[in-house]
Homo-oligomer: A and B are copies of this chain.
Amino acid sequence: MTLRVGIIGAGPSGLAQLRAFESARQKGAAIPEILCFEKQDDWGGQWNNSWRIGLDGHGEPVHSSMYRHLWSNGPKECLEFSDYSFDEHFGRPISSFPPREVLFDYIKGRVEKSDVRKYVRFNTVARHTSYNEATQEFTLTVEDLKTNLTETHVFDKLVVATGHFSVPSVPEFKGIKTFPGEVLHAHDFRGAERFYGKNLLMIGSSYSAEDIGMQAHKMGAASITISYRTAPMGYHWPENTVERPLVTHFQGSTAHFSDGTQGDFDAVVLGTGYQHKYPFLPSALSLKSPNVLYPGNLYKGVVWQQNTNLFYLGAQDQYYTFNMFDAQAWFARDVMTGAIDLPPLAQREADIQLWLERQAALPDHDAEADFQTDYLRELIDATDYPSFDLDAVSQLFKDWMRHKHDDILGYRDMVHRSVVTGTMATKHHTRWLNAMDDSLERYLHGPSQDIDTDTPDAVTDTLVAR
């Protein structure tokens, strides 16, 4: 009987799983019966952004956390598919930090080239999963959001590819209930235009706080205050941006910080992170983890320890993204088909423990990049995913972090070399700080004649802190 594989989510991870099977099929292998469920009306996951906040048009939690004017915050050369290069997609070199729509176009290009859309049931949300130990089958209840009909499907293997940057962590703050201005989580942030002339408080000290803060700066916010719990990010911020320790409480529009300082704010954005949440799974199958590079209980970061018919993709904190999801999907595919033999439970546990110990000892961000590089290397070595120069990519991450440290407003103007094709990125026609149109069309077809034109010599060759 043909293996039946269910995939939940058609974002970068779910699409990687479809692509992994398609790749095997193209090489002549028999592939399983595949069904992928996607609650949005198109694929792309995070990259399929929405203007809605909170709940979507069907009353389901909005998946994407992206916003207008989001440009990649890492070099595209670090996430390039090794089986589908940027050169192949765009037909010419592009810059290293493209905006959302450009990356979405790239993701779609690969899967549109393969014939995998037929596997995806759109507007269909996973509701409930049960596992029968005797038959070793999953029964998955899904709901068609257009008809509201629920139905069940039986699978031998289940792939959880719903991501973990969609369900916000929203802690309580004393007095926030009567803060008169806007209060929202980064997940619900859709653009910083309305912060023009405003005093913005960001709470958090990771990518969300950093990038939304600088979006507000770019759009003319009067001031940006970034409040951290543990340590400041310490970038060379623009003059209107400061870091403060954690908010102790709000009084009206005033936030009080733990160092005794205070400030009046027009709006608060919580960059307080996301939770792993899988409401369609019973707790026995549901990953609980903080956002770390190596969550426990997943062999090779992919296979659920207590039930090796269950797979998670992209459950890690991420230096690598698209290419890591690929390597995981190729690995999961080979475990499902038996091409990779799993060692027994104890041996898998020992392997996980080695990774967890190494993770616990990581001294800095450079070491983190190397850690995930080594993880990825293991997956790629175990499968036929096209190999690439992983050490070069790890070096790219380190260069990128140094650039960010040197110039938080300018690092996106730097260019990097593809390890897949050897192509050097081109400088974009407009500096990120001046780019006020984030469309694919403007990106590809040159600067407009007005606000976001840079004359070529205005493009910084050496980046300086502003």
Contacts and interface: CB of A to CB of B under 8 A. Distances in A.
What number of copies of this chain does the assembly contain?
2
Contacts of A191: 180
Given A55-B187, A59-B277, 15 more contacts: A52-B170, A53-B54, A53-B183, A54-B54, A54-B184, A54-B188, A125-B279, A127-B127, A127-B128, A143-B283, A148-B286, A149-B283, A150-B283, A180-B191, A194-B266
A322 B62 CA distance: 32
Interface string A173-217: 000111111111101101101100000000000000000000000
A128 B128 CA distance: 7
Given A148-B286, A193-B180, A279 B143 contact: yes
A193 B52 CA distance: 22
Interface string A135-179: 000000101000111100000000000000001111110001111
A125 to B, nearest CB: 8
Given A127-B128, A128-B128, A149-B283, A51 B183 contact: yes
Give the most central of A141, A149, A181, A279: most B CB within 10 Å: A279
Contacts of A149: 283
B282 A59 contact: no
Contacts of A52: 170
A167 B55 contact: yes
22 contacts: A51-B176, A51-B183, A53-B54, A54-B61, A54-B184, A55-B185, A56-B170, A57-B170, A59-B277, A61-B61, A68-B178, A128-B141, A141-B282, A143-B279, A147-B283, A150-B282, A150-B283, A150-B284, A150-B286, A180-B193, A181-B194, A183-B190
Contacts of A284: 150
Contacts of A194: 180-182, 266-267
Given A54-B185, A148-B286, A59 B167 contact: yes
Interface residues of A, number: 52
A288 interface: yes
Contacts of A141: 128, 282
A55 B54 contact: yes
A123 interface: no
Interface in A26-84: 51-57, 59, 61-62, 68
B288 A148 contact: yes
A373 B62 CA distance: 39
Contacts of A143: 279, 283
Contacts of A176: 51
A99 to B, nearest CB: 13
A439 to B, nearest CB: 10
B59 A55 contact: no
